[in-house]
Chains A and B, each alone.
Chain A
Amino acid sequence: MTTMQNAGSHGPRRGSAVSSLVSMARQLAVPGLIAAIVTGIAFATTRLSGPFGMFVLWAACSLLGLYVFTRRSQGRMAATDAVASVTLGFAALLVVTALGFIVGFVLLKAIPFVRLNFFTQTLEGIDPDSPATQGGALHAIVGTTAQVLIATLISLPFGVLTAVYLNEIGGRLAGVVRVVIDAMSGIPSVVAGLFIYSIWVVQGGFGYSGLAAGLALAVLMLPTVARTTEEMLRLVPGGLRESALALGAPEWRTALQVVLPTAKVGIVTAVILGIARVAGETAPLLMTAFGNDRVNVVQTATEPQSALPLFVYQQFTSAQGSAVDRAWVGAFVLIALVLVLFLIARVIGRSKTARL
């Protein structure tokens, strides 16, 4: 029978990767339907409520049904396999759904209030009761730009040097440095904020400022830049390095003049990912930038400054109706910013790996 089919189609029989997903879905169809009915009855008769309870109950009933069906037709091992596979699939689906719901919800909340004025006006002189379509976050956008710029200017050289040290020079201390970088990437952002507050704002006596915020963000950005750059440096072909060393160039020269330029695109990716990580940080800004209602560019180093996440947080906690709406727009811009940065890093990263 099967031979006939094959001879007829002349096509090879496909492998199993995609077809197993399809068959998983097909196996789930009948139990899923029955489970939906059971879930409906359960919701109607007990005091259950909420979509989460509904999903959990439906999933549990489906899996039970799947087990019973498969066990009867294919035996115990196949039934366990089917249930386990679908459960794992549910877990993965949950993760994708979560991202979808988060982005979707922010979009939904923000879209009605997105106006150009958000990008051109500040909150200076805006009455708390005025609608969300008045006043904007220009001062916050400017602040975030300044702070991220400062953080990049600091963490870029240190991060790249650390990566070069780890990857090109090595030595006894490299292991220690790697451990410290790992540990640093686990520092809670609020602790980084407290640190800069202590060293810069209080002990240094410089007060709250955009510069202080930039310093705190640099602490958080450094490990990301260092580790991503290190990964990128590892992609540089060893032959290139060796030919430079063979010409008599010392290690540091090879690193600076041959390896780094080759990995340039990779370093750009590292910086973008670092920015994406810190641009949305809120907690450290509370104790460094402090916040401000007007645009502050010239006095970035000395005066309090706002920032996009800080703006969102403060508008929220003020809890006035229109302020909350404004906060949603801010959240939307923030999430869009992070996603765009991320996509840029992806695109650059891809073209990079394509060329190597």
Chain B
Amino acid sequence: MAATMTAPLNTIAHAAAPANAHAGTPIETRHLSAWFAKRQVLDDVTLRMPSNAVTALIGPSGCGKSTFLRNLNRMHELVAGASMSGEVLLDGIDIYGPTLRPAETRQRIGMVFQKPNPFPTMSINDNVLAGLRLTGTKVADKDALVEWALTRAGLWAEVKNRLSAPGGSLSGGQQQRLCIARSLAVKPKVLLMDEPCSALDPTSTRRVEDTIREIADEVTVVIVTHNMQQAQRCSDQTVFFLADEERPGHIVEAGPTEQIFGNPVDPRTNDYINGRFG
């Protein structure tokens, strides 16, 4: 796959670009806390999400897992009154530090949202290329990149004959895969997915899950999900978040997916994965 395309040539002078362009990068947080105005929603979260693996974040609604995700690519701060403390290290570099600007960070750490949000004013083709235009990245062969990204997202076969159709003309599941292709086209090191299948039907959900498994060899994937089966099917590591009266969102338990679902240490994890609350 990689042989058929020219590697994108980024014109921005990268402050800390790793040499290997086709591998994910580990991302970790240290003592991450987050607030909406005065209300604390995350408390002291330290977590390592290894490269080329899928990390699933599970937990009941309001446990802070989405906020955690949005802190990983500095989307949290876009909400008025939001704030955070602690560190987020992308391959050892603090993304909140002076080395990386927010836009550069987000270029490296892509995001797929809960509801598919292709740009309605752009064609399928332009949607895939939107990230390049937004980041000012020049590519020698755009067609090859479009094909590569859509293939990776498992959408190429369905849309190759109508690349100039508007992005909004696709079905919900196709739109979500288009959004994944759009994120992949800027070659992120990490891909964050915020309940990417919650608005999709079962068939589309399976397609997206297959896609997630497939891209995991190239990017580090962190996925928030409400769906236990989904976490089991497509993640390597599972993290259980919880918020209760005593403490805002924090990690109860993290570990290999088989262990969390097969033999959880904390009784609350056991209760949650067996559907006893949340």
Contacts and interface: CB of A to CB of B under 8 A. Distances in A.
Instruction: Tell me, yes or no, whether A and B come into direct contact in the complex with CB atoms closer than 8 A.
Output: yes
Interface stretch (A11-19, A102-110, A278-286): A11-19
A340 interface: no
B80 A74 contact: no
8 contacts: A6-B85, A12-B35, A12-B83, A12-B85, A13-B83, A17-B80, A74-B101, A75-B12
A76 interface: yes
Contact of B96 (A2, A11, A15, A17): A2
B79 A2 contact: no
Interface in B12-35: 12-13, 30-31, 33-35
B275 interface: no
Interface string B126-140: 000000000110000
Nearest to A6: B85
Contacts of A176: none
A11 B85 contact: yes
Interface string A64-81: 000000000011111011
B85 A16 contact: no
Interface residues of A, number: 19
B136 to A, nearest CB: 4
A14 B11 contact: no
List the 5 closest pairs (A to B, CB-CB), nearest first: A12-B83, A77-B136, A75-B12, A15-B77, A6-B85
A3 interface: yes
Interface string B70-114: 000000011111111111000000101100011100000000000
Interface residues of B, number: 27
Contacts of B103: 77-78, 81
B135 A6 contact: no
Interface string A1-44: 11100100011111111000000000000000000000000000
A2 to B, nearest CB: 5
Interface of A: 1-3, 6, 10-17, 74-78, 80-81
Given A3-B31, A17-B80, 17 more contacts: A1-B97, A2-B94, A6-B85, A11-B85, A12-B34, A12-B84, A13-B84, A13-B96, A15-B78, A15-B82, A16-B102, A75-B13, A76-B11, A77-B103, A77-B136, A80-B136, A81-B103
A72 to B, nearest CB: 10
A16 B96 CA distance: 12
Contacts of A81: 103
A146 to B, nearest CB: 48
A6 to B, nearest CB: 5
Contacts, number: 52
B79 A15 contact: yes
A78 B13 CA distance: 12
Contacts of A74: 101
A16 B33 CA distance: 17
The B interface is mostly helix, strand or loop, or mixed, namely mixed
A76 B12 CA distance: 7
B13 to A, nearest CB: 6
Contacts of B83: 12-15
Nearest to B79: A15
Contacts of B77: 15-16
A15 B77 CA distance: 5
Contacts of B85: 6, 10-13
A81 B102 CA distance: 13
A56 B13 CA distance: 33
A84 to B, nearest CB: 13
Nearest to B81: A15
B101 to A, nearest CB: 6
A3 B31 CA distance: 9
B97 A78 contact: no
Given A6-B85, A77-B136, A12 B33 contact: yes
Nearest to A19: B77
A218 B78 CA distance: 46
Contacts of A77: 12, 103, 135-136
User: Which residue of A11, A12, A76, A80 has the most chain B CB atoms within 10 A of its CB atom?
Assistant: A12
B56 to A, nearest CB: 27
Nearest to A18: B80
Nearest to A81: B103
B80 A3 contact: no
Nearest to A80: B136
B242 to A, nearest CB: 21
A242 to B, nearest CB: 31
B108 to A, nearest CB: 14
User: Which residue of B11, B33, B78, B83 has the most chain A CB atoms within 10 A of its CB atom?
Assistant: B83
Contacts of B12: 75-77
Contacts of B31: 3
B11 to A, nearest CB: 7
Nearest to A75: B12
A267 B56 CA distance: 54
Contacts of A78: 101, 103
A12 B33 CA distance: 8
B80 A15 contact: yes
Contacts of B33: 12
A16 B84 contact: no
A86 B85 CA distance: 29
Nearest to B34: A12
Contacts of B87: 2-3
A62 to B, nearest CB: 21
User: Which residue of B81, B97, B135, B136 has the most chain A CB atoms within 10 A of its CB atom?
Assistant: B136
A17 B79 CA distance: 9
User: Which residue of A1, A74, A75 has the most chain B CB atoms within 10 A of its CB atom?
Assistant: A75
B269 to A, nearest CB: 28
A75 B81 CA distance: 29
Interface in B47-82: 77-82
